[in-house]
Chain A
Amino acid sequence: MTMKKAMFQEKAQVVSNTAVAQNYYRMSLLSPMVAAEARPGQFIEVQVSQSGEPLLRRPFGVHAVNQRKQTVDILYEVRGKGTQALSEKKPGDFCDILGPLGNGFSIQNARCSILVAGGMGVAPLAYLAEKLARDKFSEQKAKNLVLIGCKTKRHIMCKKELEKFGYAVKISTDDGSLGFKGYVTDLLEKVLRVTRYKLPVTIYACGPKPMLKEVSRIAREKNISAQLSLEEHMACGIGACLGCVVKTTNGYKRVCKDGPVFEAGSLVW
């Protein structure tokens, strides 16, 4: 019984680990097996320390993959002792990683894709954006848009990259320091009122739970298909411990294994 492996444990060498904004870091890991398999929306579990403190691995959405260099990138905010330890890694250090984990986004052949990112939610969406751009843009006259919502303009990331992929990028900030003042979901409603986004639309969203709940409501009201990537604390990350479940119309499902991407309509808020 030989089945093709879908997940790997690798000792990945840190290629780079640099601050990209205040408290935000981008880490590039040399990880040939994970890089070969990772799809947008999947994540990796990183052992940030060998000392046993913190004890558990930390999950990070795949932010970018470079097939030629065999690297997987993550984008993270230093929030606690796990991400603090991670931010101290130097090029040449090794991180034990598991991946790629979970089910990613299912890329739809829609005329219009709207990516909605709240805060760090931009990390996995940037990888999706790149794939969508490569797979879909050329043939069709598809309209594609990314909405990024942040606390202030200092928290905005990936804008230039996304524009380089060919996306229109709209910004919302809580304090109005750049773009639309208010929540990214208010911006989404505004955008959906504009005629040119009345094509068959697919929404892909990642961000905090209250934001995803709102995206889900909007999608339901407008009868739009939406895929939501959930964030959750995890113990194992591979579906064994049942510690990270979410309520769905079909009972509890594991965020790490059955998700982290779910159809908006399947979630019970």
Chain B
Amino acid sequence: MNPSLATKIGKLCLKNPVMVCSGTFGYGEEFQDFIDLKKLGALVTKTVTLFPRSGNPMPRTCETPAGLLNSIGLENPGLDVFLRDKLGFLKKTGVPIILSVASQGGIDEFIKIVDAVDAVKEIGAIELNISCPNVKPHVEKARHLISQDPQATYDLVRAVRKVTKKSLITKLSPNVTCIGDIALAAETAGSDAVSLINTLTGMSIDVNTRKSKIAAGVAGLSGPAIRPVAVKMVWETSRAVKIPVIGMGGIMDTASALEFFIAGASAVAIGTANFINPGVSIEIIDGIKQYLVENNMNDISLLRGSLQL
């Protein structure tokens, strides 16, 4: 038996449902010596903004029990440099590209980026990063991230939906009361999928200096520490919406990836684990296939939402 791992996210057809998370994989180049990039289901780029961002001051990361706090602050070279210097390499690899985008200046900037890449056929989908906890909310004086407000999420997704036919994935924050409500707002506005979870906000303090171990103070927590939260939110969200859910948060190996499918995810993304084992995503693709064979399933979709209650 050779089980099918093929998965559809909106119009984007993937040969397998294993992606790498935005912000953990650069624009692919850094990993080319370690893995065959085209084996990945898709590569989600480091978030691109319209203008370059220098990111947050150091220290930006700190290891915590079974986790990693980061406050990078969306450092990226900006759209023009991405298109000029980074996209070419990605195209050559043949891996499906999902472009992660964020805005410093409201909805207009999202629209400008989406417009600029609309004709690039290798970019198979756009991930709207409206949930990065390490940048100031895009609107002056706003108290919340877009993904912390169903109406703001709806308005943004709706506006972008109008200008592109590419598949849209809305990336959600776990730092909310009811993630299902936000997912529903994205779905209603025309998002083709939702991806979750972005990092959980957290803090770690050096008791000698009584300073936060992260220069920006607050940071986002990733790694196996957050996995149970992520699995639960994927389960909750997949019951709230009909569009595919891309699950992520502390996936370290095949077993932890399978949890997300059983909870209701159509695809998964690997983040922090890439830092520990650059080949982990490929191992997980092989591991999922083996699990399906052992459990006599000929298609990954049979596993989706198969949680026994």
Contacts and interface: CB of A to CB of B under 8 A. Distances in A.
A241 B75 contact: no
A235 interface: yes
Interface stretch (A4-12, A19-27, A71-79, A221-229): A4-12
Contact of A245 (B55, B68, B272, B275): B55
Contact of B61 (A5, A6, A233, A251): A233
Nearest to B74: A242
Interface stretch (A52-60, A104-112, A113-121, A132-140): A52-60
**Interface size of B as a range:** 35 or more
B30 A235 contact: no
Interface in B30-52: 30-34, 46
Interface in A219-269: 233, 235-246, 251-252, 257
Interface stretch (B135-143, B276-284, B293-301): B276-284
Contacts of B72: 241-243
A47 B223 CA distance: 16
A186 interface: no
B55 A240 contact: no
B65 to A, nearest CB: 7
A96 interface: yes
B134 to A, nearest CB: 11
B30 A257 contact: yes
B31 A240 contact: yes
Contacts of B58: 244-246
B3 interface: no
A3 to B, nearest CB: 8
A52 B61 contact: no
Given A9-B34, A235-B275, A240-B30, A55 B75 contact: no
A265 to B, nearest CB: 20
Chain A CB within 10 A, most for which of B62, B223, B276: B276
B7 interface: no
A98 interface: yes
B61 A243 contact: yes
B34 A7 contact: yes
Contacts of B272: 55, 235
Contacts of B63: 54-56, 233, 235
Contacts of A233: 59, 61-63
Nearest to B52: A251
A240 B31 CA distance: 8
Nearest to B75: A242
B290 interface: no
Given A245-B58, A246-B58, A252-B55, A239 B66 contact: no
B59 A55 contact: no
Given A7-B33, A242-B75, A252-B54, A235 B67 contact: no
A194 interface: no
Contacts of B59: 233
A237 B30 CA distance: 10
A55 B223 contact: yes
Nearest to B35: A9
Given A9-B34, A252-B54, A243 B70 contact: yes
Interface in A44-76: 47, 52-57
B154 interface: no
Contacts of A6: 33
B161 interface: no
Interface stretch (B18-26, B110-118, B192-200): B18-26
B30 A238 contact: yes
Contacts of A243: 60-61, 70, 72
B54 A251 contact: yes
Given A55-B68, A240-B26, A241-B23, 19 more contacts: A7-B34, A47-B276, A47-B277, A53-B65, A55-B67, A56-B276, A233-B59, A233-B63, A235-B63, A238-B31, A239-B30, A240-B30, A240-B274, A241-B275, A243-B60, A244-B58, A244-B61, A245-B55, A251-B54
A-B pairs, 10 with minimum CB distance:
A243-B61, A236-B275, A7-B33, A240-B26, A240-B30, A239-B30, A5-B33, A238-B30, A235-B61, A243-B60
